[in-house]
Amino acid sequence: MTDAVIHASDSDFDATVLQSDVPVLVDFWAPWCGPCKMIAPALDELAGDYAGRAKIVKIDVDQNQATALKYHVRSIPMLLLFKDGQVQGTQIGAVGKPQLAQLIDKAL
């Protein structure tokens, strides 16, 4: 599957997310976070479902603390939906694929 989840970092966050020409759902996560692992399969599916229309990006908060601080990430998983470089929606905590799809659909 080519349209997989993209892994971003502090250094390429602006180019990957803020300058994207399609909406981007960013998952702030960490490898030790149980709920983060629970929503990973749904994010993988959404990356395929929305291929070409939206991007799914994951950013490890332990490795990329500057970006996590910038967006006030206090608990994970925290998902932010960006469109045109602006935050359009927020989802904190593990939710199902339908709720995440709804968040993306609002920006399309």
- Known catalytic residues are 33, 36
In whole angstroms, what is the distance from residue 27 CA to residue 77 CA? 7
Q: Is the peptide bond before 23 cis (omega within 30 degrees of 0)?
A: no
Beta-sheet strand order (sheet of 24-29): 6-8, 55-60, 24-29, 78-83, 86-92
